[in-house]
Amino acid sequence: MEVYRVERKLGSGTFGSVFLVRAKSDGKAYALKQIRVNRDDIVGGVIAASRESTINKALLAGCNDKTRQYFVNMKEQFYTERRGLKGTSVWNNIVLEYVGSTLSHHILHNLSLPKDILIPQIINEVAYLHSLHIMHRDIKPSNILLLEKPSMQAKLCDFGEYRSMLEAIFCYDPSKRPTASEMLSYCHCMCLLGKNGREKLAKKSTDNINSKLQLVVRSGKFQLGFKSVLKTIRSGKAKLLLVADNCSPLRKSELEYYAMLTKTTVHHYQGNCLDLGTACGKYFGVSSVAIIDAGDSDILRTFEN
């Protein structure tokens, strides 16, 4: 924090707060989002801290000049410690482009809004996210920033609740009660698929996908374990990534981040590390598998269709 000067608090959420800061070197304004990552009473804080920075990096890495304006640019990310009466706490700091206003501010203060410009922009931004199989799941006026100069531009922010469409569709657990925003996003996905798409999707149950895993791994062309899998993804050799459902959240986020950069298909295996190891013909636990060559199996086509 030696390079930034905090001016005022902009807002707060479940896991942290957002501050207006200025760089001491040139006085440029930024938004600093701080997320506490070691709060013992909220385990989800660890997940939120990792997911927020991961999705920002992935989105910006894949953007071109046109799509980059859809989102708030991230300058950097770092960790800091604070010492207090209850001990030392660690915070994930995400430095973002500062956008002066929000849609909620304009609505509350009855300020004029060019609806013919903003509505198409927001629709394009959501459509772009869906093309990457990403659901925001928390779109509301306070999460739509408005850049007024040089021209009015809406920007989506706060991706702490995002989810992969593939995860939501292929690994939907009926025993868990979905949120209202999750159901709305899921219904939107179903509408986009159309009748033929929904019929194809109905045939691809999780049991159907998992039953084909052994066909894939019998080819022997796969990598086991976090380090070897991560190396395979980074080198662009992985065709498919399998992740056990009890994989460490931080490791899972790192795997998903590099998989998104290399456009590798990710399947969240509905079983623990031992189950995944057994499916791979190995009698030990493994939290992640990278498939290099699917052999004679059609599992890749199953995911791509």
Which residues sit in the known binding site for ATP?
A: 33
Both tokens of 283, joined, read 């009698």
Q: Are 244 and 284 in contact (CB under 8 A)?
A: no
Whole-angstrom distance, CA of residue 19 vs CA of residue 9? 4
CB 6 within 8 A of CB 21: yes
Strands (E) located in 142-280: 144-147, 153-156, 163-164, 222-224, 240-244, 265-269
**DSSP strand pairing (265-269 vs 240-244):** parallel
The burial of 114, by beta-carbon neighbours within 10 Å (0-12 exposed, 13-18 middle, 19 or more buried), is given as exposed
Residues 6+ apart with CB under 8 A from 237: 290, 292
Query: Would you list which residues are annotated within the binding site?
Result: 33
Report d(CA 230, CA 245) in Å as an integer.
17
